[in-house]
Amino acid sequence: MTRYDHKMQRLHLRHILAAGAVIEADRAQANYLINVLRLGEGDQLLVFNGSDGEWLARLNVTGRRACSIELVEQVREQTVSADIQYLFAPLKHARLDYMVQKAVEMGASALRPVMTQHTQASRVNLERMEANVIEAAEQCGIISVPGVLEPRSLKDLIGGWAKADPARRLLFCDEAEDSQNPLAELTRLAAQGPQPLAVLIGPEGGFSEEERALLRAQPFVTPIPLGPRILRADTAAVAALTMVQATLGDWGS
């Protein structure tokens, strides 16, 4: 991946990006660019939409809270991240925000809340999740923006897996796994070649015995441990995705 210019401001746009296009910023974006970032007429920034690569753009200021963004040239072609979905039991707001941001930074291709028996947060604000996804992508030079998928119960997700996504292997982070070293199993999977993956992290109270039995009975599930210590759910997200990216993902590409 070509390295981006980390000194320039980046902005996610929900528009098709093409040479010569002039895009009117919405009110919130214009206020952010002009009054928060203090950008002025002719200042440059980088823009992306998750599908058309990254573009150098020029700001045209038309009012105190109005501006347009003129695309100058493409500076990075669109890349495709490793196909690693991140599935997690929702947490309370502040820790959920952190976990979502870190999953984006670690290269997750999509994020899905999964409701388990011990999940403490019963509702998920998907708009807030998406805002955190975009913010993390803007700040970290990411141009493949992860999708935010609808919440599912663990039982329904597993029950429909074979029909909905039969080629995807589910890595079940099991705190009760006998082994303490995940690398042996991940290395074995890596030898089988690239494949779509999903990483599942449980709630703060862990998976119930019924849920563990359900997961372990599935042919598409591979249990992996996360070491000898019990990790907080948000810490487990970073630990699991680090190991998966290093052995099965795009870190070695």
Q: What pLDDT, on a 0 to 100 scale, did the predictor assign at position 70?
A: 97
Q: What is the mean pLDDT of the chain?
A: 91
Confidence label for 104 from pLDDT (cuts 50, 70 and 90): very high
Query: CB of 60 within 8 A of CB of 68?
Result: yes
97 torsion bin: left (phi>0), alpha (psi -120 to 50), beta (else): alpha
For the segment 5-52, what is each residue's pLDDT rounded down to a tens digit? Answer: 667 899 999 999 999 999 999 999 999 999 999 999 999 999 999 999
pLDDT in tens, 137-180: 999 999 999 999 999 999 999 999 999 999 999 999 987 777 77
Q: What six digits make up the tokens of 43?
A: 């200042």
Mean pLDDT of 99-113: 95
What pLDDT score does 252 carry?
64
Consecutive H or E run containing 184:
helix 183-190
Dist CA 128 CA 86 (whole Å): 17
Phi, psi of 222 (to 5 degrees): -120, 110
pTM over 0.75? The answer is yes
Domain architecture of the chain: domains with CATH: 10-76 (2.40.240.20), 84-247 (3.40.1280.10)
